[in-house]
Chain A
């Protein structure tokens, strides 16, 4: 902070204070009130901003606007004082002619909000054009008394130049055009900023626009109800205060909910008032003398219409304020809907909800222990799922917890320069808490299925090494009995032993099939391709195979794909009377696409306790879904199994 800067600010503050206080001391004039308030509030806020950040261009613009208004305010107040006071002609003149130039200054202040710079270089010529218009209008106003009729100054214009009539005509035509141009330019500039702004700047702008809107609303209400601009004028400092708060981001709360409530409240107040007025005054004129009854009817109508109307207005307000983002309540409601009736993967649903809630570009859900997190779902679905495991410390993530335990994490990527606001962070935290239970249940179910698979594998191995081995050994020994009986000439004993051996071998064959059904050894030993070949070899319906996998996959993914295909082939043979089944299995990235389609009679549906229901349960826990298309032209089972 330089001393010069300090002095300059002190001088500006002192001058404004003297001019405003002096101006108010000279009398009360409604038409000047807003000038005084703008002078005081803009200078004060501008100086406060400059004290906090001395080189802030917007702060300087605020001070300039405030000081200019102070000069105009004092000049007009002086010129309006009855008397007239000494030199009122020239002093009052100072309060009139700068108006167009000061309007341009206000325009630049508004267009520069919140950082004091124009949105882009393209706006410079526009501002230059505005300045030219302002200077021309001010020039005319300085030379001829073209603005005096509106200000009501007692002291006359100090100059008496010829051509007053022509100047009057020009000013009368040019002033409305110029002012309209000013207003359109500011409005366009603010709208452009609002549309492109992200993060803090968007929040700053919303504060400002909110204050302007409230002020304008009070102005309109004041004019309508009290036929006075005073209430509106009194709210002008609000704009300066809101703007200053926004510039300094001083406790910059999320203003969205406030705007939202104000919109709903304002709209409903207007609707109720209008409804009541129309009923009581409008209808009242038609049926005279039933005032009380009409009031009651009006109250009833308004009461009945209130809630449905409020809901509609609320929806419109939501769309205006939050745009594509959903409200926190909506986000939680949508997540609940996803959890009760998942459309697509459950985990994808969580990511989509989070993305909608905060307007994110990308949302990833990770699960696993903190030192090795794996991405399990991502939004948008077109983004590639990060393949490698990462430690939590390497991610800027919101942890997902449940029941005190770490279950995973959510990472949210927003547009550059648009960080998560505290409110959004809280919302993501709330959504993560909901996701925690889902991840916990999913992990439990996965462990159960894995345990079930392991138990079946163990049982198969026990059969293989135990009962099957023993039976085969016994059959072998019976074979020896057959041989020695034959050698000994005991033909009937040999025949009997041979028949027992044959039945024993039938039993071992049966046992072999059972063990295979429990868990096919070929799947564990040789992988999915070999196991699918085995299924196809044994299918009673011809199978058309298209398999491209190329590598071993995680055991649960292989087992799941195997059971899907096995179920599809069994259904085709048992129920569909199909003549051919095509099985296609392909691995693309980390997704295994499995499809079994037959040309049978269809009619496949998920019945409680059926194989298809079991498959769906099994798929659900690895966040895969089974789609079943079954009609007269055949049945198609399809699923996409994620495999890391």
Chain B
């Protein structure tokens, strides 16, 4: 189910999602209309534009919160022209998994986008790589990230995007055991508490990166 006030973009996305094997069960031009459709027929995932009428600020997050309130099993994928760290942190803090936050650009890589949608539907967390890259690249006075190896940084970046150990392993062509070792090493070096669930792990890592 889709909600975006840009008709061309919405229609285009509906067409390619159908190509990717998804069924678009409904389209809406704003949060209120989407909420009504979700109530009537809850989909697996709702794709929501962050900036919508009436205020054109962050209505998408409010809509997502309302959907989570009435249909907790619906995955929520927020799309935006800009990705902002504080929005990401809010999404991870206020929602216990099953959320995604991506640049609209990502939709053009249909394969990857379809994977992200399925992850959100499955209750995982998806964070835009650009946002994570920005945080990892951020300059600090005494940078704790300096203690990490090149490989560990790559693992950290993927972890922050919400990938599970298995997904990180696949992405970096490593064995899952190796990734687990890297993760343990990262958490020790940064002084973070390990979390079993990926969602909690994203929160911990993003909070750390932002601090």
Q: Would you give 13 A-B contacts (Cβ < 8 Å), ordered by A?
A: A464-B51, A472-B107, A473-B12, A475-B107, A476-B12, A478-B108, A479-B109, A480-B15, A480-B110, A512-B82, A526-B57, A533-B86, A544-B141
A483 pairs with B111, CB closer than 8 A: yes
Q: Which of B9, B15, B16 contacts A469 (CB 8 A)?
A: B9
CB distance from B206 to the nearest CB of A (A): 12
A476 pairs with B85, CB closer than 8 A: no
A290 at the interface (CB under 8 A from B): no
A541 at the interface (CB under 8 A from B): yes
A501, B108: Cα distance in complex, Å: 8
- Where the two chains meet, the residues of A that have a C-beta atom closer than 8 Å to any C-beta of B are 461, 464-465, 468-470, 472-473, 475-480, 482-484, 501, 504-505, 508-509, 512, 515-516, 521-522, 524-526, 530, 533-534, 536-544, 579-580
What DSSP secondary structure best describes chain B's contact surface? helix
Q: Which one of B15, B82, B134, B143 has the greatest number of beta carbons of chain A within 10 Å? A: B82
Q: Hey, which chain B residues are within 8 Å of A580, CB to CB?
A: 141
When A and B form their complex, which 7 residue pairs have the shortest distance between CB atoms, in order from nearest? Answer: A479-B108, A475-B108, A525-B57, A542-B139, A480-B16, A472-B104, A542-B141
Given contacts A472-B9, A476-B16, 6 further A-B contacts (CB under 8 A): A461-B56, A469-B104, A475-B105, A476-B107, A476-B108, A544-B141
Q: Hey, which chain B residues are within 8 Å of A534, CB to CB?
A: 84-85
CB distance from B57 to the nearest CB of A (A): 4
Against A, the Cβ 8 Å flags (1 = close, 0 = not) of B81-112 are: 11011110000000000000000110111110
What DSSP secondary structure best describes chain A's contact surface? helix
B72 at the interface (CB under 8 A from A): no
B204 at the interface (CB under 8 A from A): no
Q: Hey, which chain A residues are within 8 Å of B81, CB to CB?
A: 464, 468-469, 472, 512, 515
Against A, the Cβ 8 Å flags (1 = close, 0 = not) of B14-52 are: 011001100000000000000000000000000000010
Q: Which one of A475, A526, A537, A542 has the greatest number of beta carbons of chain B within 10 Å? A: A537
B19 pairs with A516, CB closer than 8 A: no
A477, B87: Cα distance in complex, Å: 28
A539, B57: Cα distance in complex, Å: 25
B84 pairs with A526, CB closer than 8 A: yes
Q: Hey, which chain A residues are within 8 Å of B87, CB to CB?
A: 526
Q: Which of A473, A482, A539 contacts B139 (CB 8 A)?
A: A539
Smallest CB gap from B104: residue in A: A472
A464, B82: Cα distance in complex, Å: 10
A581, B128: Cα distance in complex, Å: 28
Q: Hey, which chain B residues are within 8 Å of A522, CB to CB?
A: 82, 84, 86
Q: Hey, which chain A residues are within 8 Å of B19, CB to CB?
A: 480, 483-484
A466, B82: Cα distance in complex, Å: 15
Q: Hey, which chain A residues are within 8 Å of B140, CB to CB?
A: 542
CB distance from A495 to the nearest CB of B (A): 14
Smallest CB gap from A530: residue in B: B86
A475, B73: Cα distance in complex, Å: 31
A537 pairs with B57, CB closer than 8 A: no
CB distance from A220 to the nearest CB of B (A): 80
A473 pairs with B57, CB closer than 8 A: no
B8 pairs with A537, CB closer than 8 A: no
B138 at the interface (CB under 8 A from A): yes
Q: Hey, which chain B residues are within 8 Å of A478, CB to CB?
A: 108
Q: Which of B134-150 contact A (CB under 8 A)?
A: 134-135, 138-141, 143
A515, B82: Cα distance in complex, Å: 10
Smallest CB gap from A461: residue in B: B56
Q: Which of B8, B85, B86, B110 contacts A483 (CB 8 A)?
A: B110
A472, B9: Cα distance in complex, Å: 8
Q: Hey, which chain B residues are within 8 Å of A521, CB to CB?
A: 51, 82
- Once A530-B84, A538-B134 are accepted as A-B contacts, the answer to whether A473 and B6 lie under 8 Å apart by CB is yes
A530, B87: Cα distance in complex, Å: 10
B108 pairs with A526, CB closer than 8 A: no
A230, B194: Cα distance in complex, Å: 110
B105 pairs with A508, CB closer than 8 A: yes
A168, B110: Cα distance in complex, Å: 129
CB distance from A509 to the nearest CB of B (A): 8
B13 at the interface (CB under 8 A from A): yes
- Once A476-B9, A522-B82, A537-B138 are accepted as A-B contacts, the answer to whether A505 and B58 lie under 8 Å apart by CB is no
Q: Hey, which chain A residues are within 8 Å of B104, CB to CB?
A: 469, 472
- Once A479-B108, A505-B105 are accepted as A-B contacts, the answer to whether A537 and B135 lie under 8 Å apart by CB is yes
CB distance from B138 to the nearest CB of A (A): 5
Q: Hey, which chain A residues are within 8 Å of B13, CB to CB?
A: 476
A69, B6: Cα distance in complex, Å: 104
A407, B3: Cα distance in complex, Å: 49
CB distance from B134 to the nearest CB of A (A): 6
Smallest CB gap from A524: residue in B: B57
Q: Hey, which chain A residues are within 8 Å of B82, CB to CB?
A: 512, 516, 521-522
B85 pairs with A537, CB closer than 8 A: yes
CB distance from A40 to the nearest CB of B (A): 88
